[in-house]
Structure 1
Amino acid sequence: MNCQGCHLPDGGGVGDIPQMKNFVGNFLKVPGGRAFLVQVPGSANAALDDAALAELLNWMLLEISAAQLPEDFEPYTAAEVGQYRAVPLSDVNAVRLPLIQKIALLSGN
């Protein structure tokens, strides 16, 4: 599975699948959000090595959500991806919801 196993090619979402475009960078502003992007099934189970996944995540963030990245954005490294990937999520929604709530608080919503 890759990102497009759930999301549209442009980062869009359909139905219960969240929109990534112009939003996903916000995850890097809240504790746990950085790990979350690696641990979701489309990332954690991708047939890419850690270096390639780090490169893909960095490209995706800069391509579809650069304006939402924190000012101190640090690109993912292969070592970091390997560390997060070793602990995949068993319940994506249970982890995503509190992160979305934290993001909403940051934006005043």
Structure 2
Amino acid sequence: MNCQGCHTPDGSGAGSVPRMKGHVGIFLQSQEGREYLVRVPGSATSALNDERLAAVLNWILTEFSGDSMNSPFKAFSAEEVGRLRQSPLKEVEQYRLKVLRDLSSMSMNE
């Protein structure tokens, strides 16, 4: 099941689950956003090993970011994923909102 179980195979999201398609790349615009993608429970607690999870995250970013991601992007490595997934997020929605607010503030200050 992995990511598509909640985000659906096309990245559109099911119910209240956030849409990835056309949006997920914005998280790479900050370190906190980058960490968020690994630390969400679906990633951090996945049965995939670090190498496979890094590959899946990189695929998601390539396939679903659209114009939301600056090219080229720094791909996730197995080492980075292994380090970050040791601290899964407990307050996912609050953390996501903080990251998005910070990103919005950054873009308004440019």
TM over 0.5: yes
Partner of 1:89: 89
Equivalent pair of 1:41/1:89 in contact (CA under 8 Å) = yes
Partner of 1:39: 39
Partner of 1:99: 99
Give the TM-score, by structure 2 length. Answer: 0.87
Identity %: 47
Equivalent residues, number: 108
Segments of structure 1 that go 5 or more residues without pairing to the other structure are none
Partner of 2:7: 7
Partner of 1:68: 68
C-alpha displacement at 1:15, in angstroms?
3.2
What is the alpha-carbon distance in structure 2 between the residues aligned to residue 105 and residue 12 of structure 1? 26
> Is the counterpart of residue 80 in structure 1 residue 80 in structure 2?
yes
CA RMSD of aligned residues (A): 1.7
What is the alpha-carbon distance in structure 2 between the residues aligned to residue 96 and residue 5 of structure 1? 20
Answer with 65-74 or 2-11: which moved more. 65-74
C-alpha displacement at 1:99, in angstroms?
1.1
